[in-house]
Structure 1
Amino acid sequence: MLTRSRAHFLPYPEPGSLAEWGWVWDNAEIHFVGAWTRECLLGWYIAPRSLPHSVLVFVHEGRARWQIGSETVVASADTLLFIPEGVRHRADLLPPHPFCATFVHLTARVLGIQCILSLLGFPPKIDGAKSLAGAINELARLHALQPPGWKLRAQASVTELLLRCTHEYPYLFQPDAAPRDAKVLKWLCPAFQLLASTDGKVTVSDLARVVMCSPTHLRRLFQKVVGMSPQQWLLERRLRKAAQLLQTTDKTVQQIADECGFESLSHFSRYFKAKFGITPSQYRDLLGHTVGG
């Protein structure tokens, strides 16, 4: 039987500055924390803060002024906001109407520590993003009703949502590194993978061997493109894994400290507070109050 294709697809926009960054998604670690839809009444605001995870905000009704890092934007109906982890932000409702939005909390990292939203230069907002409303609403529905397998589906949905933004709005992105640094990061991936799989029980010489360079050159490259040494990278990875476990499990702080390789609870708490500004217990308490933003 003779057949021929009848499919005709609209092309995606040219990837532009994202062309060098496709490898990021092969090394991405994406986790869904939760999603809540809230109506925020007159007088609502978010005091200045930064969080150890990222937040997406989809506006259904009303208007609010947001400061995300150094950017100040106004979000109205069908606006999707991107707040990368660690970025200081605040918000104020603009009268006269209430502000209704869905807040999606997640982590999206490459190589265990680099926030993908920051690395790829996600825009502070996308206006007129009505086509994304269905995916956002479904995340809130999954989190509220929690049918069997909901966590896996939510993780897939968040991944699809982020990728869809890069495919359909690439001209809004401003990656945080030069193409040459992107190539170096990609080249270092085997060293990152070995370091993570052995929980740091390898020498710098072992890492240098897998990427075929000298230990001195490897240290220099880590410092240049990651901003830290291999040992510091491993500590950063452990801390972010701990934050994720605090978000998504009921394990005790002691159990999380043990699982993430810290020698004592006091060491874990000290390192965690130095990184995130609050203790592990305070961070877990904070999660219970983020449903309004």
Structure 2
Amino acid sequence: MLFRFPPIPPDKTDATFLCGKEGAFAKLKIESKAGKRTVFLTEHTLLFVRKGAKLLHFSTGTVTVTPDNAVLLKKGIYVMAEYIEEGLSFEALLLFLPVKLLKALALQQQFGRKTEHQGEPFMLLPCNDLMQGFKEQLRQYFDTPVANIDQLLPLKQKEILLLLISSGQRNRVAHFILDAISTEPEDLEYTVRTYLLQPVTLEDLANLSNRSLASFKRDFQRLFNAPPKQWINRQRLEYARLLLQNSNQRVAEITTECGFESPSHFIRLFKKTYGHTPQSLRADITID
């Protein structure tokens, strides 16, 4: 299952989100049991940990976020887990950073232009006393209703970015922000193959590759010689058939692992493409 933070549109009845008229500003995450999940950050995000530790799993290794540091994350899909000591709980805050805010700050701070690609989608930063104080104040907003929240929370977003810049991390933060707000198209093939087995839409993929939907479809057709939905479904189905032939996973599990929205949708596409259902393919293999 893919969790979207913030969801679009946001659920304003969910008390774990701070929401205003323009959307969700922040998310409070509390867990009593360790877990591992895949999260789609639909906005650039600053993540603070108050209790326990957050583990971010990348192909190059695992990054640990503790109460002594914070992490800037570009929008994208991440595998996350929590480390919780026995008898304690995990608590984290996610502050969403819209592109409009980052662009205004980059202009105000005269960051200049991006010189090279950031590479890593995250930046781990130490938390000084002022940042710790900000974290604790932000936590209180989830328990205490505040008037004029729409005017206040954008100021809080800007405040923490200025604190990061003033903490001796100006060049690193500037580099991250310039990379985050870049409008240069990302490598389309890399984006598509990275998120191929995630339940994302074409609009999501276009956004992640810094393209309009029309540009994404045009560039995709040129690169793969096929319409996006057709090519993506074909790749997912081929991987699903491989799993059916070489694993004992249930059809529902394969549906999720291959990025399909539901088992019925997966079975319908599979039968249309191969002429038989996933169950009948597995039955034929068993008979042979």
TM-score range, shorter chain: 0.3 to 0.5
State the TM-score, normalized to the length of structure 1: 0.41
